[in-house]
Structure 1
Amino acid sequence: MKFVCSKSNLVSGLQIAQKAVPAKTSLSILQCILVDTTEGVIKFIANDMELGIETRVEGTIIERGYTALDARIFFDIIRKLPDSDVTIESTNIEGSIKITISCEKSKFTILGRSGDDFTYLPVIEKIDGISISQYTLKNIIAQTIFSVSEKDTNKLMGGELFEIDGNILKMVSLDGHRISIRKVELSNGYPYKKVIIPAKALGEVMKILSDSTESMVSVYFTDKHVLFEFDNTVVVSRLLEGQYFNIDQMMMSDYETKISINRREFLDCIDRATLFVKEGDKRPVIISIEDDYLEMKINSAVGAMDEKVEITKQGKDVKIGFNPKFLIDALRVIEDEEVDIYLVNPKAPCFIRDADSSYNYLILPINFTTVN
């Protein structure tokens, strides 16, 4: 194998592929990236058996072949080379694969591994799928992924519901303390589909996607896998098996209090309150809603804060406590200038949602009487 490729193309391709290289594994081959030029294009492939990524870069192929290279060493060498064309060549000497990397006056030699030991990505038939803009998919992931559970107590909480009903795509995540729901309208209608995609896969896809509304992503499904195809990249992930939670039973429409508040003012107020919350501290911010204002208080060993924000209120006065991080996470991804918040009582969840329910965030309160 021998090819010539610009440093910038190599760096961008390797940055994408290495997202599927596991940080720790007992199988050393999984810490490699497969470099494959057998089909007349330069492909970088990584696969940790749960998530796989294949991306193509432009270059000139002199001799076709394939070999597996240690991902960390390979990338570290490439990113420190001069900004010029790079020549990569493999030779087999007495059963040992030697890789030579040359760029201007720099020359590195590293050991490669047989590509035959590498597990390629599963073959997915591109039949059952949808098309969506990169911008839209990137946004809907960002607006829900933060409430995926980071604990391993329930594997389904480590993924997101990806549900297609006609021309509506709905994504749902939850962690036992909050629920995030986003809906977007697709340009076409599709058969009903309901799968659970691991958050790890969605997070990596989100990082690779562009902000372009013109560029599209094709998403295909099988019983066990999901495939994302866009630009020169393919991402394949296993699906999580099981029945997702009945979200509809958790989402109430009744409320005793509704407030409308400037999102930016509310977010900044909560952000200031977190100055007195240490990481891991479960102390809530106390919110009192009365007449035409919302008052926020927090007391800790570090200090105290008391601030008021103007609101429009319907219904009863209420006093309730929340984990400030949960409020911040939801408010940061909402784009509306003003948000509507619905409450029932101090022990019931609050809902932040718009009139069309294109977004709906449920947040459980904290019993502040025991901590304040």
Structure 2
Amino acid sequence: MKLVFNQADLADSVSIVMKAVPSKTTMPILQCIMIEASFNQIKFTANDMELGIETIVKGEIEEKGKIALDAKIFSDIIRKLPNSKVFIETNENDVATITCEKAKFSIPGKSGDDFAYLPVIERNDFISISQFSLREIIRQTIFSIAVNENNKLMTGELFEIRNNVLKVVSLDGHRIAIRNLPLSGDCPDQKVVVPGKTLNEISKILSGEMDDMVNIYFAENYLLFEFSNTIVLSRLIDGEYFRIDQMLSSDYETKITINRQEFMDCIDRATLLVRESDKMPVIIDVTDGQMELRIDSSIGSMDEEIDIEKTGKDIIIGFNPKFLLDALRVIDDESISIYFVNAKAPCFIRDEKSSYIYLILPVNINVNNR
């Protein structure tokens, strides 16, 4: 095999497939990138059996062939080469020689006969959305997935299509993040749970452009994302997702409208008095025309008033400040509406169209000294 690349194109492609290379595995071949040159195209593939990525690479084929190279060594070499032409050549002993200007590396490879290729997926049911929209949806929900695997479903996100609307949901037991995106065309109803790892890695390689599209194909046990000469195939999480509709309510006793940035800055200042190990709530005291936000920790105390518009009852309620900040940071609206039921029920941050809904559970606080 003899191939010629531009270093920048090669480095970009390697960084894409590296996201599907496992850090630990009992199958050493999976820690390799499979390089294949045939049919007038060069293809890189990596697969950790849960997430697989295949990308077409710009380059010239002087001799066809294939080889599996250790992903970390190959990636480190390519990344540190000068921005020039890169030549990759293999011999009959599966040794790859990588040459760029005056630098020359020889590394052992494998034939790749036992490499785990991506399974072939039937491409029937699919939706098409912009790469920008998908990246934004992931950014605006991924923070609410659970980091531990006590409940596997909580480590993924629900992708549900109903009535031509894509609903994406994440939750970790303390909060729920929901984004709704209307779809064009007639889309079949679907309901799958996608691993958070898949979505995190996809968000890093999406272009984020409105004009660049991504096709999402639904298949049994898999979800396939196709965009920009790249295929990302993810195994789905088995199980029935939580019935979140039962957790959502349009009833409320108090509604406030507040400047999002002002509220966020205020909470940010309050957290200066909270050590990372502390679980100190921020207390919100809502009265007519204003909201007082206060915190009292071993380091000190702080209180600040913010102008608001309020309808309904006064309320005093406490929250984990991180949960509030996480939601506020991914909302783009200048002003937001927050709905409260009582001091022990979750609050809802949502817009009028319900394009986003963030539910946050309160924490118990002592409200005797107001």
TM-score by length of 2: 0.97
- d(CA) in 2 for partners of 1:275 and 1:189? 50
Q: Which residue matches 1:89?
A: 89
Letter in 2 for 1:183: N
- d(CA) in 1 for partners of 2:282 and 2:27? 46
CA apart distance, 1:349: 0.3
- d(CA) in 1 for partners of 2:84 and 2:55? 21
CA apart distance, 1:262: 0.2
- d(CA) in 2 for partners of 1:337 and 1:64? 56
Give 3-state SS (helix, strand or coil) of 1:187's partner: coil
Give 3-state SS (helix, strand or coil) of 2:163's partner: strand
* 1:369 maps to 2:366: yes
- Point out the more displaced range, 313-322 or 277-286: 277-286
Residues 51-86 of structure 1 deviation map (CA, whole Å, 9 limit, x = unaligned): 000111111001111111111110111111111010
Question: Is the contact made by 2:175 and 2:359 (CA closer than 8 Å) also made in structure 1?
Answer: yes
CA apart distance, 1:247: 0.6
Q: Which residue matches 2:292?
A: 295
Q: Which residue matches 1:36?
A: 36
Q: Which residue matches 1:115?
A: 112
- d(CA) in 2 for partners of 1:181 and 1:114? 46
- d(CA) in 1 for partners of 2:279 and 2:92? 59
- d(CA) in 2 for partners of 1:92 and 1:285? 66
1:129 to 126, 133, 140: 126
Q: Which residue matches 1:347?
A: 344
Letter in 1 for 2:178: I
Q: Which residue matches 1:268?
A: 265
Q: Which residue matches 1:360?
A: 357
- d(CA) in 2 for partners of 1:244 and 1:217? 25
1:106 to 103, 108, 118: 103
- d(CA) in 1 for partners of 2:34 and 2:200? 22
1:312 to 309, 317, 327: 309
Q: Which residue matches 1:141?
A: 138
Q: Which residue matches 1:230?
A: 227
Q: Which residue matches 1:181?
A: 178
Letter in 1 for 2:128: S
- d(CA) in 1 for partners of 2:127 and 2:231? 15
- d(CA) in 2 for partners of 1:189 and 1:142? 26
Cα distance 1:86–1:197, how it changes in 2: closer, same or farther (>3 A)? same
- Point out the more displaced range, 268-277 or 228-237: 268-277
Equivalent runs, 1:39-50 vs 2, <5 Å: 39-50=39-50
The root-mean-square deviation of aligned C-alpha atoms, in Å, is 1.2
* 1:248 maps to 2:245: yes
- d(CA) in 1 for partners of 2:27 and 2:16? 21
Q: Which residue matches 2:152?
A: 155
Q: Which residue matches 1:79?
A: 79
- d(CA) in 2 for partners of 1:57 and 1:361? 40
CA apart distance, 1:207: 1.1
Give 3-state SS (helix, strand or coil) of 1:189's partner: coil
Identical-pair percentage: 60
Letter in 2 for 1:256: E
- d(CA) in 1 for partners of 2:351 and 2:142? 19
- d(CA) in 1 for partners of 2:132 and 2:321? 28
1:331 to 287, 311, 328: 328
Structure 1 ranges of 4+ moved more than 3 A: none
2:164 to 150, 167, 179: 167
Letter in 2 for 1:217: V
Give 3-state SS (helix, strand or coil) of 2:92's partner: strand
The aligned length equals: 368
- d(CA) in 2 for partners of 1:228 and 1:211? 14
Q: Which residue matches 2:256?
A: 259
Give 5+ residue unaligned stretches, structure 2.
none
Give 3-state SS (helix, strand or coil) of 1:244's partner: coil
Give 5+ residue unaligned stretches, structure 1.
none
Question: Is the contact made by 2:131 and 2:212 (CA closer than 8 Å) also made in structure 1?
Answer: yes
Cα distance 1:82–1:290, how it changes in 2: closer, same or farther (>3 A)? same
TM-score by length of 1: 0.97
Residues 82-116 of structure 1 deviation map (CA, whole Å, 9 limit, x = unaligned): 110100011123xxx21100001110011111211
- d(CA) in 1 for partners of 2:363 and 2:130? 38
Q: Which residue matches 1:64?
A: 64
Letter in 1 for 2:10: L
CA apart distance, 1:180: 0.6
- Point out the more displaced range, 296-305 or 170-179: 296-305
